[in-house]
Amino acid sequence: MAYSSATQKRLLEMLEAQFNQFHTELGCRAVISNDTTLEPVPLPTHGMGVEQLCMHFNDQVAPKLSASNGGRYWGFVTGGANPAATLADWFVTVFNQNVSKGGDSVASQLERQTIDWLRALFYLPDSFTGLFTTGATAANLLGALTARQFIGAQQGIDVAQQGMAGLDVMIYAASPHASMIKSLGMAGFGQQNWQCVDTLQDTEAMCIDSLATHLSRCDSLGKIVIASAATVTGTDYDDLIAISRLCETHGAWLHVDAAFGIFERLMNGPEHKTNGIEFADSITLDCHKWLNVPYDCGVFLTRQPNHLVATCHVDAPYLASSAQNQDYMSMGIENSRRFRALPVWATLLSYGRQGITAHIQSNVDLAQALASWLENSQYYVLLKPCELNVVLFKPGDMHVLQEVRLCLEAINQSGKVFMTPGVWQGERIIRAAFSNWETTAEDLLCVIELLERLAK
Ligand SMILES: Cc1ncc(COP(=O)(O)O)c(C=O)c1O
């Protein structure tokens, strides 16, 4: 099917119909699909064509997709796709750029501008350089890899070139996200090969005295500290000023996973919970969470890009460099890269600091409203005061479904909302995370009614 004007017209008609149908149904469709089976279809020898394909998709796939792009998907930390980013994401496919090297288009420059704007949005100094990644997991992996290169350089080993045999390193963290642990495994450190620093009582935040003791007793030549801003369950923030001072004293690399916690800066400025993040060696951010751009889109920033480039660059004649700026393929995991800066660029231009802050504040207000309803309910127990966008609770003694698993199952089976499980202070709990730009007070009321009904 060539791109004749008739084809273009049909594609746009199909897109429009799909878009309309999805958004018309979004408010009332079940938030998760109970039917996740896919009819087995053999690989066609003769393709069915785009018209048939569209019907097949609408028949077999679309009804079984979730409403994760809507206001009542409160599982994990799930953002939606705002209108500016949605349009830009369509453009990404229309232009289908490979943002690998500069020199053939303005795309790399646009990525650079967008990173500059994100730095400005979050009040981060110019000393940070970075790039877009597929998500926070990939950014955490780059954090582990860049730290590894730094530790190697301290010990006279170029890990990217020679491997990590003989590398002497100890890693410290208190409540790292699972993706950080996965990254430690992928970077060759081992998922289990890190020291768990104590947490402060009733929080997931790192105990500074415990870290200080660990670091002063450490006889490894290389040290990496992984801090959180914020943790995915408790939304707790590590004291980054104190941690960065300790890291400086002990020559340790400091990586901060601020995937969604960085957005707190928009409400409270740079001197509140994330104060000191500017002293980190590397930072993970996520745009497909609280910036509400479509998947997949994370960010990695570092103050030591030389170690990042040493890790990611490879020479090949056909890849010879042409641009005066560092090529993105030499800063990240992939050589070929999607133009994923564009939806972020569009979001920042369309909404500005004020519009984005309003989204964040609205999510936080709704989360706090749910928390205060739970606190006053005779059927539920609020497990932690809500300080950001995540609410932790469980059914109480008066609830007909006292077991957390059964209660969560009933909540999700209702189709009205989707929440995910967690563990808080050793206890199974239910997590509700507010990160979708479209979540409204009506959504909250709908869920409160459901929670009330299920309890009785
Ligand atoms: C703090 C933190 N780090 C990392 C991740 C992983 O993010 P992604 O799924 O974008 O890779 C998450 C996801 O919830 C997170 O909350």
CB-side neighbour CA atoms (13 Å) of 25: 15
Pair (236, 161) in one structural domain? yes
Spatial distance between the Cα atoms of 2 and 328, rounded to a whole number of angstroms:
32
Pair (109, 229) in one structural domain? yes
Pair (193, 284) in one structural domain? yes
E-strand stretches of 241-343: 253-257, 282-286, 298-302
Spatial distance between the Cα atoms of 5 and 333, rounded to a whole number of angstroms:
38
**Domain-terminating residue out of 338, 368, 387:** 338
Tell me, yes or no, whether 413 lies in a domain.
Answer: yes
Pair (366, 325) in one structural domain? no
Query: Mean pLDDT across the chain, nearest whole number?
Result: 97
**Domain-terminating residue out of 275, 308, 338:** 338
pLDDT digits (tens, 9 = 90+) for 139-195: 999 999 999 999 999 999 999 999 999 999 999 999 999 999 999 999 999 999 999
For residue 277, the enclosing domain spans: 97-338
Helix (H, G, I), strand (E, B) or coil at 232: coil
Spatial distance between the Cα atoms of 360 and 436, rounded to a whole number of angstroms:
9
Cβ proximity of 133 and 333 under 8 Å: yes
- Residue 286 in contact with ligand 1 by CB distance below 6 A: yes
- Who contacts 264 (Cβ-Cβ below 8 Å, separation ≥6)? 230, 237, 272, 273, 274, 388
Residue 16 CA to ligand 1 center (angstroms) comes to 32
Tell me, yes or no, whether 173 lies in a domain.
Answer: yes
Query: Helix crossing, 49-56 with 5-25: angle to 10°?
Result: 10
Given a cut of 80, is residue 110 above it in pLDDT? yes
pLDDT for the residue 210: 98
Pair (178, 316) in one structural domain? yes
Pair (389, 408) in one structural domain? yes
pLDDT for the residue 58: 97
Pair (174, 297) in one structural domain? yes
> Structurally, how many domains does the chain consist of?
2
Amino acid at 429: I
Cβ proximity of 257 and 177 under 8 Å: yes
- Residue 78 in contact with ligand 1 by CB distance below 6 A: no
Confidence of residue 321 (pLDDT cuts 50, 70, 90): low
Pair (248, 318) in one structural domain? yes
Confidence of residue 383 (pLDDT cuts 50, 70, 90): very high
Q: Of all helices (H) and strands (E), which one includes residue 290?
A: helix 287-290
Mean pLDDT in residue range 88-108:
96
Pair (271, 330) in one structural domain? yes
Ligand 1 atom at shortest distance from the alpha carbon of 288: 10
**Domain-terminating residue out of 316, 338, 360:** 338
- Residue 204 in contact with ligand 1 by CB distance below 6 A: no
Given a cut of 70, is residue 253 above it in pLDDT? yes
pLDDT digits (tens, 9 = 90+) for 404-438: 999 999 999 999 999 999 999 999 999 999 999 99
pLDDT for the residue 3: 86
Residue 288 CA to ligand 1 center (angstroms) comes to 10
Spatial distance between the Cα atoms of 35 and 62, rounded to a whole number of angstroms:
11
Task: Output the CA–CA distances (angstroms, integers) from residue 10 to 3, 22, 53, 361, in the order listed.
Answer: 10, 18, 13, 40
The secondary structure of 180-193 as a DSSP string is: HHHHHHHTTS-TT-
